[in-house]
Every structure is written in structure tokens, then in C-alpha cells.
Amino acid sequence: MDRREFAKLSALAVAWSSLPLAARDIVASGNDVSQKPVGYAAIGLGTISDIFMRGCANSKAAKITALVTGHPDTKGAKYAAMYGIPKTSIYTYETFDRIRDNPEIDAIYVGLPNSMHCEYTVRGAMAGKHVLCEKPMAISSAECRKMIDACRQAKVKLMIGYRVHYEPLWNRAIQILKSGKIGELESFHGGFFGQQPAGAWRLTKSLGGGGALMDLGIYPLNAIRHITGEEPTDFTAIVSTRDRSGRFAEVEQSMEWTMKFPSGIIASCGCSYGARGPSVLNINGDKGYLVMEPAFNYDGLRLRGEVGGQPIDESSAGKQPYQFTIEAEHFSECIRNHREPESPGEEGLKDMLAIEAIYRAAGAPIA
Ligand code: NAD
């Protein structure tokens, strides 16, 4: 998609998102309410799958029709009761491949730890199901390529859960950028910071694949790539682990990095698993600027700045899980109308190539 097409899509997204859900169903091509909803099997019933399932419950285009869990009698039974799923549609990781025989499942939603994304995407594709996989797409570019190939061979769609691409306030920001009112883009400052408790799977190399960059830094990285439409070519990076308790024995605590794009745009970003800090993206042009803060949260996003010489201050109206509803509806529409998702597997691969380059620049290569 070129920039003009993207701007058009962004404008549509803003108008569309201001409509109530029922009206959107009628307007959105392919999400005709008279059609059966696209059926999703949620894999891994943790934090993000819980939100995704609630997002689907608010939609007429997406429905949770199956569950995959290591705890079928507890977590499985609980969610099955919530979403009216028959016992026969609760699978374990061992019986997962039998989803092939379940016509109520059109797609899988992969809400597993990062290092399991590749295996379940490939197995899902081999079972003939479309795949909506959480970010980061996998833990190496080699795995990303394997996932893209498997989905291509099986002729199923692959989308990565970059929910920010579907957030109306982000699309509004992109509209402003395309209008030229902040002039030529010069630079970005981005960050996403939080705390991970000792023992979390995110702090292990085997499940997380890397540390804060893989999980949090990917947000400003992806947003900047998405906005510029360019791939970064030059990197500097530095990692630091100050906490000596052993919590960060396997992955970095904090990462700061810079990137340069072919047009000359530069970006400076940071992330941490051991710091309190904002979720933020500053976008600086030669005539104005935008600040999205919070930038990457599930709701409550706020866009401020100076546009055309005037201050702006806008907030997102939606409440969690609306981003997941929009994301699920987008993928459902792609499945119904044989269209490529806006955030396909290739988008996840490009982020992973940049992540690998950043780790290399920091002297802590992961691939
Ligand atoms: P979580 O720990 O809350 O859930 C993970 C699920 O996987 C659990 O149900 C767990 O039982 C299951 N699981 C299966 N095998 C496991 C194993 N060997 N070790 C640990 N858990 C195992 O994690 P989460 O926060 O839901 O994250 C899951 C994925 O979603 C990650 O890839 C993460 O990056 C992504 N995520 C995306 C967003 C977003 O906004 N798009 C937000 C949070 C997480």
C-alpha cells in the first residue's frame, strides 16, 4: 500500500471508529451481520487472550468458538462457560492438531509466550486455519520466515497483532502527518517502560527470546517504521542491567537505541523491564510536532502537539478491549474477502530484523 492509499484508509478508519459497533457492522464491507462470524480458537488462556476474547464478544464479525489450554478442566471450563463453547471444542496442546476437523474454527489466535508462536502458527496453518499471532511474531527472523512460508504454502492468512495499527487516534496522528502540517519528519523519541517480576516467563531466554526490547521496545520500533514507511539501516544501542538480584540473569533490564532511516530521519528509543516510565512517542517535524502519550496502552491514548502553528489535544474515546475488537474485525474482514491484512507476517519479520540488528549493535546478539 502506498502512502496515499494509507492516508485514505486512515481517514476511513477515523470515521468508521466513531460509529457505534452495530452501525460499523453494516458499513464495513464484508462484515455483513447476516454472515456467520469468523470463528477463532484462542491458544493460551492468559492475559492477552482474555482481552482478545472480550474484544471478540463485542463484535458480530468475530466469535471465540474453541479454546486450546493446558488446563481444560479449570481455565478451559471457565472460558467455555463464558463464551458458550462446547466441551468438544476445548483442546490441549497435545490434541491441538485435531482443530483441523472442527469446521467452527476458521482461525487461531496465538496468545502464547513468544518462543511458542512459531510452532503453533505452523501447526495451525497445517491444520488449514488462518493465523492471528501476537507480537513479537517470534524470537528470530528465521522463525518469522518459517511462519510466513507455512501460511503461504497452506494458503491461509497470517496477521500479527499490532493493535496500534488499528487504533483510531493513531490513524488520526498519521492523517495529520500526511497532511504536511508538521512539515518534513525529522526525528522520533520513543519509549515503553515497565516492571517484570522475578520468575516471569518474559525474563527467560527460552520463552521470551530476549528482554524488554522484544516485548516493549517493539512498540516504538514498529510505530516509527509504520509511520515512516522506511526500514532502518544504521543502529547504535546499549544495554544495561543494574539490578543484581538475579532477576535479569538471562535477558537485559534496559535498552536504549538509535536508528537512522534511508531518508535521513533519526530515532532515539528506550525500553526497560526494570523501570517505571511512560509509553510515549514524540514525532518532530520541521514545522510542528506531535506527542502521543500514553502511546501504546489499551485505552486512554492522548495526542498533543503543535499542528499548523496551533496546539492540539485529543484523546481516544474507546475503552478496553475496543482495539482488540477492531483488530479481530479487520482480520475477519480479510478472511471473508480474501484480502491481505494491514499487519501481515512480513511486518513482524521486518521488526524482528531490526530487533536483531539492535541487539547486535548493543553487543548482545540473539541471532
Ligand atoms: P501470559 O503469561 O498472561 O499468558 C500466556 C499463556 O500461555 C498462559 O495461559 C499460559 O498458561 C500459556 N502457556 C502455555 N505454555 C506455557 C509455558 N511453557 N510457559 C508459560 N506459559 C505458557 O502472557 P501474555 O501477557 O498473555 O502474553 C502472551 C503473548 O501475547 C506474548 O507473546 C506477548 O508478547 C503478547 N502480548 C501482546 C500484547 C498486546 O497488546 N498486543 C499485550 C500483552 C502480551
Supply the DSSP symbol for 248. T
CA distance 90 to 213: 34
- Determine the distance separating the centroid of ligand 1 and the alpha carbon of 208, expressed in angstroms: 10
Residue 8 is among the residues annotated as catalytic for this protein: no
* CB 161 less than 6 A from any atom of ligand 1: yes
* CB 220 less than 6 A from any atom of ligand 1: no
Confirm if 14 and 83 have CB atoms less than 8 A apart.
no
pLDDT at 27: 39
The CATH topology of domain 164-317+347-361 is Dihydrodipicolinate Reductase; domain 2 (3.30.360)
Low-confidence stretches of the chain (pLDDT < 50) are 1-30
* CB 163 less than 6 A from any atom of ligand 1: yes
pLDDT at 367: 67
**For 26-72, what is each residue's pLDDT tens digit?**
334 445 656 899 999 999 999 999 999 999 999 999 999 999 999 99
Residue 120 is among the residues annotated as catalytic for this protein: no
* CB 44 less than 6 A from any atom of ligand 1: yes
Confirm if 281 and 187 have CB atoms less than 8 A apart.
no
Q: Structural domain boundaries of the chain?
A: 3-162+337-342, 164-317+347-361
- Determine the distance separating the centroid of ligand 1 and the alpha carbon of 44, expressed in angstroms: 7
pLDDT at 1: 39
Domain 3-162+337-342, classified CATH 3.40.50.720, yes or no:
yes
pLDDT at 14: 41
Query: Residue with the nearest Cα to atom 21 of ligand 1?
Result: 113
**Distance in Å from the first CA to the final CA of the chain:** 30
* CB 201 less than 6 A from any atom of ligand 1: yes
Confirm if 140 and 209 have CB atoms less than 8 A apart.
yes
- Determine the distance separating the centroid of ligand 1 and the alpha carbon of 8, expressed in angstroms: 34
